[in-house]
Amino acid sequence: MRVVIADTASFPAPPPTFVSDNVMDVTRCDGPRSRALDPALTEAEGAAVTREGGLYADFTKYVCGADRCPVIVHDLLVYRDENHLTTEFVRYLATGLDEQIRSGL
């Protein structure tokens, strides 16, 4: 079975740059969920993957809260650029994500 992972949040500039400019308050770097994610795209993409027999993995709940998408979680930088997760953050999530994929989400 093919697994397609939904897009992550997008930021207007690389979060590491924001963080280096706001080290005293990195929460200023967090993106509003309403601008960082495109729910219509996620829904359309998920429907297409499911229709073709694939498994659509949307892990947004692991990287975004109800209102904001943080750039730092548990002292880990989440994004390496405007929309790609850092290796360290993916390692942090790996065990839980693997379990969810194996259970069919």
**Alpha carbon 59 to chain centroid, angstroms:** 6
Determine the Cα–Cα distance for residues 78 and 56; give it in Å rounded to an integer. 21
- What lies within 8 Å, CB to CB, of 37 at 6+ separation is 7, 9, 10, 60, 64, 69
pLDDT of the chain, 105 residues: tens digit per residue: 788 989 999 999 999 999 999 999 999 999 999 999 999 999 999 999 999 999 898 888 889 999 999 999 999 999 999 999 999 999 998 877 777 667 765
Both tokens assigned to 2: 């093919």
